[in-house]
Amino acid sequence: MSTTDVVEFWNDVYAARPAAVDPRPNVCLTETVIGLPPGDVLDLGCGAGGDALWLARLGWRVIAVDVSSVAVERLRGLALTNGLSDDRLSAQQHDLRRSFPDGAFDLVCAHYLHTPLDLDRAALLRAAAHALRPGGRLLVVDHGSTAPWSWDQDPDVRYPAPQEVAADLSLDPETWAVEMADARTRTATGPDGRTAEVTDHVLIIRRTV
C-alpha cells in the first residue's frame, strides 16, 4: 500500500474525531516516566498528542511522529497553544515503513501502534531499540483486549503477549535487557465518555551498553 493510501486512511480516522483540546497522557507512560530524568524522547504514532505534550511539559525534548497529517498539524497547534517551542516538541509526519526519525534517544514510546494496514512492527521496534542511548528505554504498550470504542472490532483479533513481542525483535541480550513484560487491567474512559475494563500489554526494554 502506498504512503498516500496510508495517510488517507489515518487522516479519515482522526478527522472523524473532534480535535482534543487537552489530550490525556497514557497511564502506562506516566507510571513509567515519573522519576526518570528528562532527556530526549521519541513518540511513535503520537495520535492526539497527549503523551508528547505531557512529556514536553515535564522538560523532555520530544520528537512526536505520526503518519497522519491531521494528527501532526493538530499537535503542532496544541504545542503552540501551550507555549512549547519546536526544540521542546517537534511534531513530524513519517510513514514509519519508509522513514525513521534521526537522533539518539533516552526513551522511545510506542503506544497502541496497531494498524490493519501492512507494517513490519518487529522491524520498526527493532529500529527503535537501536535508536536508544545506553541506559535508554523502549516502552511498548499494546492492546491486550478490545475496547468498545476501538476502531478495530474484529472478534478474531489476537493480541500477542509482551514476551512474544520481545522475542520477535531478536535483540542481542548482551546489549538489551527486558525490564518488564506484563499484562495490566484497568478501567479506561473512551472518547465518548464510556468506561470499560481493558487490558494493556506492557513491554520495557532497556539498552544496557
List the CATH number of the domain containing 66.
3.40.50.150
Predicted local confidence at residue 22, as pLDDT: 92
Domain that holds residue 203: 3-207
> Over the stretch 58-112, which tens digit does the pLDDT of each residue have?
999 999 999 999 999 999 999 999 999 999 999 999 999 999 999 999 999 999 9
Calculate mean pLDDT across residues 7-32: 93
Predicted local confidence at residue 124, as pLDDT: 97
Percentage of residues in the chain with pLDDT exceeding 90?
A: 83
| C-alpha span between 200 and 122 (Å, rounded) | 18
Predicted local confidence at residue 147, as pLDDT: 87
- Global pTM? 0.93
Predicted local confidence at residue 146, as pLDDT: 85
| C-alpha span between 17 and 15 (Å, rounded) | 5
| C-alpha span between 79 and 75 (Å, rounded) | 6
Predicted local confidence at residue 157, as pLDDT: 84
Q: Which of 23-27, 57-61, 114-118, 153-157 has the lowest mean pLDDT?
A: 153-157
46: pLDDT strictly greater than 80:
yes
Predicted local confidence at residue 203, as pLDDT: 98
164, amino acid identity: E
- Into how many domains does the chain fold? 1
